[in-house]
Amino acid sequence: MTSVDVARAAGVSQSTVSLVLSGKGRGRISARTEAAVRRAAEELGYRPNAAARALRTGAARSVGLVVPDVTHPFFGETMRGAQEAAWTAGYAVALVDVPLDRPLEAPLEALRAGPVDGFLYFSVEPPEWRPGGEQVVVIEASPDAFPWVRLDVEGGFDAALGHLRELGHTRIGHLTSRVPYPTFQIRTERWRAALVGAGVEPVDALRAGAGFDFDDAARAAGRLLDAAEPPTAIACDDDILAGGVYLAARERGLRIPEDVSVAGFDDLDFARVLWPPLTTVRADAERLGAVAFATLAAAIAGEELEAGQVLPVELVVRGSTGVAAG
Amino acid sequence: MTSVDVARAAGVSQSTVSLVLSGKGRGRISARTEAAVRRAAEELGYRPNAAARALRTGAARSVGLVVPDVTHPFFGETMRGAQEAAWTAGYAVALVDVPLDRPLEAPLEALRAGPVDGFLYFSVEPPEWRPGGEQVVVIEASPDAFPWVRLDVEGGFDAALGHLRELGHTRIGHLTSRVPYPTFQIRTERWRAALVGAGVEPVDALRAGAGFDFDDAARAAGRLLDAAEPPTAIACDDDILAGGVYLAARERGLRIPEDVSVAGFDDLDFARVLWPPLTTVRADAERLGAVAFATLAAAIAGEELEAGQVLPVELVVRGSTGVAAG
DNA sequence: TTGTATGCGTTATCAG
DNA sequence: CTGATAACGCATACAA
């Protein structure tokens, strides 16, 4: 079933078929011929061969989506936003899930061979080289060298920290991601600033790093809570980490928020189901993904674009934060 | 950067390059020539053009992954398993997120044009037609007509129900998915059977359906709990639905498990962070995905394969289930 | 307004 | 053992 078959059925040449179906025949092909071609294509169930088209045009109309953890709900939402935007723009989406502790190169290698016109890196640092002509947009990662989209992490974390300070907390702990990415480094900076502002030394005993799983986060939170002078509140880089604090507090018989306040980041769905419901910073992950794709599409189309975009976030106060004890 | 460039650099013909790099030169190409070709390819950073190869061979070495909800952690894990298996087999993975209330055809149409050699349908009913020669494997959906992989839902749900009955529960409610898929219909059948076995009529007042989000699940659970004769335990089709029961119970001042026991299905990560931790049925979603891909790969390779596979699950008893009150 | 001819980069057949 | 050469299906410059 190729354009040649359609041409034969419609009694025209192959190039006419191509012209008609690509829409580039506008005004050059007679209405009758056009109708005949369309009908033949329809009847035969013709669909253009993507490989041939890609070979000929040099564009695959598909983009690669690189995420560090498909199972993290935040990425799930971001992926949904990106993939929905991509599909409506006629782009397919290739998924690449690369755990951060594994080399990127291998899986990407395959895609760089042509199946993909560009990459969306979600919280993953793109490799240095750019051998092919693929476009790249980074989301929540280092903005150097590539167009980027990110959340207003400063504003969000400041809001959470400010909320905690208003409740009288000064010894605020920070449960941080072990991934050394800018988005998390920003959080650490704001945390330091907030503590200094509160007249408290941002000592290492008030910080602990963990991966994005509840058990690891619980262990790290435990170290914070077991310290000689434990924090009265813990600001977390992420809701998953905050979940770890719940686990650690529970093990130690500590009540939230009476004994320790907890604030998260992302507003994942499960945050509301926790008890008490988690105070967190809401981010529109789906929009983040959609904007990222739009940026990439513009780059692929060769359009001029702003270097970066910052999306707003919003503090959501729920039950896990309360006035500082004593 | 094409094979022609490599040929020129190595001082051989283009077809020799192809032979060497595809490994089909085994024993026909001299070691010296082979080395020269490989070195030239290496130095030039040559990588075969995927579109050209796909056009020539008719195989894209990529598969489509169709899921109803990328943000659901269960699909996240399944996708991870499938995509990891795919990458190690040299296949790329195209992601298609199709909410169940939306038509499948549009997004699939694009992929059927050739970029994809086969489809993995996760909890999505594949469309009837199979115009192209793509292979299809269905996961947790109707097994008719296609090879399938699924979880031992019967065994898992029976275990949960049996556990509840051992605790003395007879009026067991069922919070079910609104999606009319076999995997959920099976749960409903087992629930009916269990109630009948306990001498209780499986009336409609003991059943409620919801979508996979906490709010909707909470509303449905509320209807169960507000009934004249509410259930003393609720078996849920899924952990998200179980989360809804937590929300509904909390709103009504009911304690889990003292006033109502709750059992989930899937063992999503957040199940342990709930309070009390959720009793649920653990499913190895990652393996499900990996097995599904392996099945699809076999089908693409034209191998004979067993019609279906059932993967085991395991009951995990935690704090959300207790002895029946009264 | 339509048709002819060409090439995109590969693989694979067939001579040499 | 290696090199011409012919497709694969499409888009497009150019000719008619």
Integer Cα distance of A260 and A275 in angstroms: 13
Question: What's the token pair of residue A80?
Answer: 């949904």
pLDDT at A110: 67
For residues A123 and A269, membership in a common domain is answered with no
Q: How far is the alpha carbon of A119 from chain B, nearest alpha carbon, in Å? A: 13
pLDDT band at A197 (very low <50, low <70, confident <90, very high): very high
List the strands of the sheet with A207-210, edge to edge. Answer: A207-210, A172-177, A233-236, A261-263
pLDDT at A99: 82
CATH code for the domain of B23: 1.10.260
Q: Beta carbon of A21 within 7 Å of strand D? A: yes
Q: Beta carbon of A22 within 7 Å of strand C? A: no
pLDDT at B113: 65
Helix (H) or strand (E) segment spanning residue B42:
helix B31-44
Q: In sequence order, which residues have a C-beta less than 8 Å from that of residue B271 and are 6 or more positions away?
A: B239, B242, B264, B277, B278, B280, B318
pLDDT band at B211 (very low <50, low <70, confident <90, very high): very high
Q: In sequence order, which residues have a C-beta less than 8 Å from that of residue B302 and are 6 or more positions away?
A: none
Residue B211 belongs to what domain range?
153-284
Residues 228-267 of B with CB under 8 A from A: 243, 246-247, 250
Q: Looking at the domain assignment, is residue A85 inside a domain?
A: yes
Q: Looking at the domain assignment, is residue A224 inside a domain?
A: yes
Closest to B51 (Cβ–Cβ): which among A45, A54, A107?
A54
Cβ within 7 Å of strand C: which of A 96-115?
Answer: none
For residues A146 and A289, membership in a common domain is answered with yes
Integer Cα distance of A126 and A138 in angstroms: 8
- Mean pLDDT in chain B? 91
- Residues from chain B that touch A110, judged by Cβ atoms under 8 A, are 50, 87, 90, 92
At B127-145, the pLDDT tens digits run: 776 556 688 999 998 777 8
The pTM of the whole model exceeds 0.85: yes
For residues B16 and B85, membership in a common domain is answered with no
Task: Identify, with chain letter, the residue nearest to nucleotide D6 (CA–C1').
Answer: B56
Tell me, yes or no, if B272 comes closer than 8 A to chain A by beta carbon.
yes
At A143-193, the pLDDT tens digits run: 778 899 999 999 999 999 999 999 999 999 999 999 888 899 999 999 999
pLDDT band at B57 (very low <50, low <70, confident <90, very high): confident
For residues B159 and B255, membership in a common domain is answered with yes
pLDDT at B249: 98
pLDDT at A236: 98
Nucleotide nearest to A114 (CA to C1'): C9
Q: Looking at the domain assignment, is residue A320 inside a domain?
A: no
Does the pLDDT of residue A113 top 70, yes or no? no
pLDDT band at B112 (very low <50, low <70, confident <90, very high): low
Instruction: Indicate the DSSP class of residue A232.
Output: S
Q: Of B51, B80, B164, B71, whose CA–CA distance to A51 is shortest? A: B51
Handedness of CA B200, B202, B204, B209 (dihedral sign): positive
On strand D, nucleotides with any atom < 7 Å from a protein CB are: 1-5, 7-13
Q: In sequence order, which residues have a C-beta less than 8 Å from that of residue B325 and are 6 or more positions away?
A: B232, B258, B259
pLDDT band at B102 (very low <50, low <70, confident <90, very high): confident
A75 phi, psi to nearest 5 deg: -70, -35
* Residue scoring higher pLDDT (B326 or B280): B280
Mean pLDDT value across residues B56-74? 90
Nucleotide nearest to A2 (CA to C1'): D9
Integer Cα distance of A172 and A163 in angstroms: 11
Distance in Å from C3's C1' to B254's CA comes to: 79
Integer Cα distance of B55 and B134 in angstroms: 15
For residues A214 and A140, membership in a common domain is answered with no
Tell me, yes or no, if A276 comes closer than 8 A to chain B by beta carbon.
no
pLDDT at B27: 73
Residues 8-47 of B with CB under 8 A from A: 45, 47
At A251-299, the pLDDT tens digits run: 999 999 999 999 999 999 999 999 999 999 999 999 999 999 999 999 9
For residues A9 and A43, membership in a common domain is answered with yes
Closest to B47 (Cβ–Cβ): which among A65, A94, A112?
A112
- Mean pLDDT in chain A? 91
CB pairs under 8 A between A and B: 154
Q: Looking at the domain assignment, is residue B219 inside a domain?
A: yes
Q: Is A39 helix (H, G, I), strand (E, B) or coil?
A: helix
Question: What's the token pair of residue B102?
Answer: 């939306």
For residues A114 and A82, membership in a common domain is answered with yes
Residues 128-147 of A with CB under 8 A from B: 131
Question: What's the token pair of residue A214?
Answer: 């509840």
CATH code for the domain of B112: 3.40.50.2300
For residues A107 and A68, membership in a common domain is answered with yes
At B268-279, the pLDDT tens digits run: 999 999 999 999
Q: Looking at the domain assignment, is residue A248 inside a domain?
A: yes
- Residues from chain B that touch A250, judged by Cβ atoms under 8 A, are 275
Residue in the structure block whose two tokens are 């974390």: A157
Task: Tell me the residue type at B124.
Answer: V
Task: Identify, with chain letter, the residue nearest to nucleotide C6 (CA–C1').
Answer: A56
Q: Of A97, A102, A140, A95, whose CA–CA distance to A116 is shortest? A: A95
Percent of chain A with pLDDT over 90: 68
Residue in the structure block whose two tokens are 């992420």: A238
Task: Tell me the residue type at A197.
Answer: G
Q: Of A62, A275, A233, whose CA–CA distance to B249 is shortest? A: A275
Q: Looking at the domain assignment, is residue A237 inside a domain?
A: yes
Instruction: Decide: A124 and A285 in contact? Cβ < 8 Å.
Output: no
Does the pLDDT of residue A131 top 60, yes or no? no
The number of folded domains in chain B is 3
Mean pLDDT value across residues B190-208? 96
Mean pLDDT value across residues B26-37? 84
**Residues making up chain B, counted from first to last:** 326
Helix (H) or strand (E) segment spanning residue A216:
helix A214-225
Instruction: Indicate the DSSP class of residue A202.
Output: -
Q: Beta carbon of B50 within 7 Å of strand C? A: no
- Residues from chain A that touch B110, judged by Cβ atoms under 8 A, are 87, 90, 92
For residues B43 and B132, membership in a common domain is answered with no
Q: Looking at the domain assignment, is residue A319 inside a domain?
A: no
CA-CA-CA-CA dihedral for A319, A321, A322, A326, to nearest 10? 140
For residues B104 and B197, membership in a common domain is answered with no
pLDDT at B131: 53
For residues A224 and A123, membership in a common domain is answered with no
Task: Identify, with chain letter, the residue nearest to nucleotide D7 (CA–C1').
Answer: B56
Question: What's the token pair of residue B194?
Answer: 């269990």
Q: Looking at the domain assignment, is residue A77 inside a domain?
A: yes
At A24-63, the pLDDT tens digits run: 877 788 888 999 999 999 988 888 888 898 888 888 889 9
pLDDT band at A100 (very low <50, low <70, confident <90, very high): confident
Percent of chain A with pLDDT over 70: 96
Burial of A264 (0-12, 13-18, 19+ CB in 10 A): buried
Q: Where do the DSSP E strands lie in A27-81?
A: 62-67
For residues A274 and A161, membership in a common domain is answered with yes
Instruction: Decide: B128 and B108 in contact? Cβ < 8 Å.
Output: no
